[in-house]
Amino acid sequence: MSDLAALFAKCKSENRAALIGYLPAGFPNQEASIEIIKAMIEGGVDAVEIGFPYSDPVMDGLIIQEAGELARSNGITMAKTLEIVKEVSATGTPTLVMTYWNPIEKYGVEKFGSDFSTNGMQGVITPDLPIEEAVGWLATAKNNSINSIFVVAPSSSDERLKQVVDNCSGFIYAASMMGVTGTQTSVASTASVLVERIRKISNTPVAVGLGVSNGSQAAEVAKYADGVIVGSAFVKAVLQNPDNPTEAVRNIARELALGVRAN
């Protein structure tokens, strides 16, 4: 059993959802991003998504785009992202990478799989990789014991949904709504419907992302999902608290951790 699978099993035994926190690699800079992610973990995040900042982030909202641009201007590279993954995974926290496909292809698919797996990466979320074009990646991931995590949306047809979830391991990323990432005043009702549809065809854990920004929203999603993914709220906290970002994200993580345990 992988660390990621063990995490979901542990959370299920505790009758709660897993809290998954996201931060772009190198944001606001290389050293600070590592310290901020560690603060998220200290606050109660169960698993971490490290995003690779990309020039054409079609799934990212304005807040994460701003963070990605800052990281890119400070010289983030895939090699530096690898260093962050190594540091974070050394904490024993399941560590994932979220990246668009082009950077993996540019780095080298086989090299990416080998290098990142060796340094503790548990899984990869590829939001723009069509399942029809993922055969080579799925083979590489399997050879390197990497969980392949794809994103499904409320608009997915039943046929498409089954095709995608059948190729997911670790967990299935359920987008709560059509659109891009960002904090919302409420979580879209389409999220629970999508999770219900997935449950009918798969036993793989389902984590919901897009729009969760506070404890009450986390508690709401935790009622029906196996995992709650939060990104923009952490990024926003860093942007709004440049003098003490670690304490800001630690406090948000604590609130969210209480939320996933509230049911």
**What pLDDT was estimated at residue 211?**
79
Q: 182-209: per-residue pLDDT in tens?
A: 444 446 578 999 999 999 999 999 999 9
How many Å apart are CA 228 and CA 16, to the nearest integer? 10
pLDDT at position 97 = 98
Q: Determine the average pLDDT of the residues in 63-68.
A: 90
Average pLDDT over residues 234-241: 96
At residue 176, the pLDDT reads 77
- Cα distance from N-terminal residue to C-terminal residue, the chain: 27
Q: How many CB atoms lie within 10 A of CB 165?
A: 21
Least confident of 6-15, 65-74, 113-122, 142-151: 65-74
Q: Is the pLDDT of residue 62 over 90?
A: no
| Res 251 pLDDT > 90 | yes
Looking up tokens 């990281």 gives 71
Q: Domain 3-260 maps to which CATH number in 1.25.40.10, 3.20.20.70, 1.10.1140.10, 1.10.1530.10?
A: 3.20.20.70
Mean pLDDT of the chain: 93
Tokens representing residue 88 in the block: 């974070």
State how far the Cα of 213 lies from the Cα of 196, in Å rounded to an integer: 22
Asked if residue 255 has pLDDT above 90, the reply is: yes
β-pairing verdict for 121-125 and 95-98: parallel
pLDDT of residue 2: 82
Which is the catalytic residue, given 49, 87, 115, 220? 49
pLDDT tens for 161-185 read 999 999 999 999 999 754 444 444 4
Q: Print the SS3 string covering the chain.
A: CCHHHHHHHHHHHCCCCEEEEEEECCCCCHHHHHHHHHHHHHHCCCEEEEECCCCCCCCCCHHHHHHHHHHHHCCCCHHHHHHHHHHHHCCCCCEEEECCHHHHHHHCHHHHHHHHHHCCEEEEECCCCCHHHCHHHHHHHHHCCCEEECEECCCCCHHHHHHHHCCCCCCEEEECCCCCCCCCCCCCCHHHHHHHHHHCCCCCCEEEECCCCCHHHHHHHHCCCCEEEECHHHHHHHHHCCCCHHHHHHHHHHHHHHHHCCC
Q: What is the pLDDT of residue 1?
A: 67
Whether 87 is catalytic: no
Task: Determine whether 60 is an active site residue.
Answer: yes
pLDDT in tens, 67-100: 999 999 999 999 999 999 999 999 999 999 999 9
Percentage of the chain surpassing pLDDT 90? 85
% pLDDT > 70, the chain? 94
Structure confidence by residue, pLDDT tens digits, 16-53 = 999 999 999 999 999 999 999 999 999 999 999 999 99
- In angstroms, the CA 6 to CA 147 distance is 13
Cα atoms found within 13 Å of the Cα of residue 147, Cβ hemisphere only: 28
Predicted structure pTM score? 0.94
pLDDT at 214 > cutoff 80: yes
The reported pLDDT for the residue numbered 236 is 95
Indicate which residue of 46, 60, 220, 226 is catalytic: 60
Question: What per-residue confidence (pLDDT) applies to 60?
Answer: 73
